[in-house]
A and B are shown apart, each in its own frame.
Chain A
Amino acid sequence: MITGTPKPIDDVLEMLEPYNKVVVAGCFGCVTVCRVGGEKEVQVLASTLRLAREAKGNIIEIKEVCLERQCDPEYLEQLRPYVEDYQAVLSIACGAGIQFVAEKFTKTPVMPGINTGFLGVTERQGEWAERCQGCGDCVLHLTGGICPVSRCAKSLFHGPCGGSAKGICEVSPEVACGWQLIIDRLKSLNQMDRYGKLIPYKGWNTSRDGGPRRITREDMTQ
């Protein structure tokens, strides 16, 4: 899922300072699962903003909405009736959703209520960790299902660097060495023959180095 963290409330209040009638829009997708932008978070944020503004004698009217997804045009249309009557939208979807709202409703300022994080997993309740950087050329079949791009701090492809010590990465004592994980996994799978095999250079043009990416499925666009 796409993860995120709430923006500090002071930052949000500052963004909304010029407005007194706003929509707070959540998303039932990834941000609901990581507890940062779903229906409950919309309610809490809206209440918090109303209280903070009223405490300063500057009342704000808030429409609380939660869309199935903010990254699909059909669902975004559900925002239209509100967007026209309100001065701004505070979206607590991921960065993709926030931008799509801004693209769709060009005359209304759209602001982010969260900081979007990474593609990750729920390791345990309340704890999420990165697993994928969307490089566009997956090698998980070669590396025991553990990604050298996202799990190695340097995104190395042919084993650990000198900063790996006792399975820990030098960037932080809390970060496991991605390559140690890969080697341990390959050993347990009896696939160590794959370790050390030269992998052809990775074409990063399928990743961010190729600029903003697009997927077109001809079979679906007709």
Chain B
Amino acid sequence: MLPCTGRIEEALILQAFEGGADGVMVVGCLEGDCHYISGNLRARARVERVAHILESIGIGNERVRMYNLSAGEGAKFAAYANEFSDHIEQLGPSLINLARSKARKPESVLEEA
């Protein structure tokens, strides 16, 4: 459990991609409104660093995004979640998931046979 987006490490986001995520959205409090002063700003910097890493290895920097909203903005959260989900669906599976499904294919062919 994360008490604040400021607790998010770059490695944690990368592990989500290792775990099979096609995209990761980080949702923090509104900028300037962090209970821990600068947690969400630190999170944004880390998200940007992860985006840079993902771009450098061909997975693409568009697969991770940071959003900001207040805890009372449920409708906005849903809108952001839908927006990001649509965005990732448009991008399609990440290179990791493509490689995994490619690696799994021979087995399924065998099973069918």
Q: Which residues of A contact B (CB under 8 A)?
A: 8-10, 40, 43-44, 47-48, 50-52, 54-57
Q: Does B10 contact A (CB under 8 A)?
A: yes
Q: Per a CB cutoff under 8 Å, which of B57, B99, B102, B103 touches A48?
A: B57
List of A residues within 8 angstroms of B94 by Cβ? 55
List of B residues within 8 angstroms of A55 by Cβ? 57-59, 94-96, 99
A58 and chain B: residue at smallest CB distance: B99
List of B residues within 8 angstroms of A50 by Cβ? 18
A51 CA to B56 CA in the complex, in Å?
11
Q: Does B11 contact A (CB under 8 A)?
A: yes
A193 nearest CB across to chain B (Å): 47
Q: Contact: B11 with A51, CB < 8 Å?
A: no
A57 CA to B9 CA in the complex, in Å?
26
A/B pair count, beta carbons within 8 Å: 50
Q: Contact: A43 with B99, CB < 8 Å?
A: no
Q: Does B82 contact A (CB under 8 A)?
A: no
B12 and chain A: residue at smallest CB distance: A43
List of A residues within 8 angstroms of B96 by Cβ? 51, 54-55
Q: Per a CB cutoff under 8 Å, which of B9, B57, B103 touches A51?
A: B57
A141 nearest CB across to chain B (Å): 41
28 residue pairs A–B, Cβ–Cβ below 8 Å:
A9-B53, A9-B56, A9-B57, A10-B56, A40-B9, A40-B10, A40-B11, A43-B11, A43-B14, A44-B11, A44-B53, A47-B11, A47-B15, A47-B18, A48-B53, A50-B18, A51-B18, A51-B54, A51-B57, A51-B59, A51-B96, A54-B99, A54-B100, A55-B57, A55-B94, A55-B99, A56-B99, A57-B103
Chain B contact surface mostly: helix
A43 CA to B12 CA in the complex, in Å?
9
A106 nearest CB across to chain B (Å): 32
B49 and chain A: residue at smallest CB distance: A44
Q: Per a CB cutoff under 8 Å, which of B14, B58, B100, B102 touches A44?
A: B14
A47 CA to B24 CA in the complex, in Å?
15
B45 and chain A: residue at smallest CB distance: A126
List of A residues within 8 angstroms of B95 by Cβ? 55
A54 CA to B19 CA in the complex, in Å?
12
A16 nearest CB across to chain B (Å): 13
B42 nearest CB across to chain A (Å): 11
A183 nearest CB across to chain B (Å): 39
List of A residues within 8 angstroms of B57 by Cβ? 9, 48, 51-52, 55
Could you list 14 further interchain pairs (A-B, Cβ under 8 angstroms) beyond the known A48-B53, A55-B95?
A9-B57, A10-B56, A43-B11, A44-B11, A48-B56, A48-B57, A51-B14, A51-B17, A51-B54, A51-B57, A52-B57, A55-B94, A55-B96, A56-B99
B104 nearest CB across to chain A (Å): 12
B57 and chain A: residue at smallest CB distance: A52
A44 CA to B17 CA in the complex, in Å?
12
Q: Mark B18-49, 1 if CB is under 8 A from A, else 0.
A: 10000000000000000000000000000000
Q: Which 9 A-B pairs have the closest CB atoms?
A: A43-B11, A47-B14, A55-B95, A52-B57, A44-B10, A57-B99, A44-B11, A9-B56, A48-B53
List of A residues within 8 angstroms of B54 by Cβ? 51
